[in-house]
Amino acid sequence: MSKVINITFAGVGGQGILLASDMTANALISAGYDVKQSEIHGMSQRGGSVVSDLRFGRKVYSPLIPKGETNILIAFERLEGLRSIPLLRQGGIAVVNDESILPVGCSATDYPADALERIAAEADEAIIVNATEMATRAGNVRAANMVLMGILSCLLPVKEDIWLSAIRERFNGKISEINEKAFNLGREHQVMAATR
Binding site for another protein (CB under 8 A): 1, 12-13, 22, 25-26, 29, 34-49, 60-64, 66-69, 79-80, 82-83, 85-86, 88-92, 102-112, 118, 122
The nearer residue to another protein, 43 or 192, going by C-beta atoms, is 43
The nearer residue to another protein, 18 or 185, going by C-beta atoms, is 18
**Minimum CB distance to another protein, residue 192 (Å):** 28
Amino acid at 99: E
Q: Give first-to-last CA distance, the chain, whole Å.
A: 35
Q: Distance (Å, rounded) from C-alpha 25 to C-alpha 63?
A: 12
The nearer residue to another protein, 66 or 157, going by C-beta atoms, is 66
CA 59, 76, 137, 125 dihedral sign is negative
**Minimum CB distance to another protein, residue 29 (Å):** 6
**Minimum CB distance to another protein, residue 90 (Å):** 5
Q: Is 113 left (phi over 0), alpha (psi -120 to 50) or beta?
A: alpha
**Minimum CB distance to another protein, residue 22 (Å):** 7
C-alpha 20: how far from its chain's center? Answer: 7
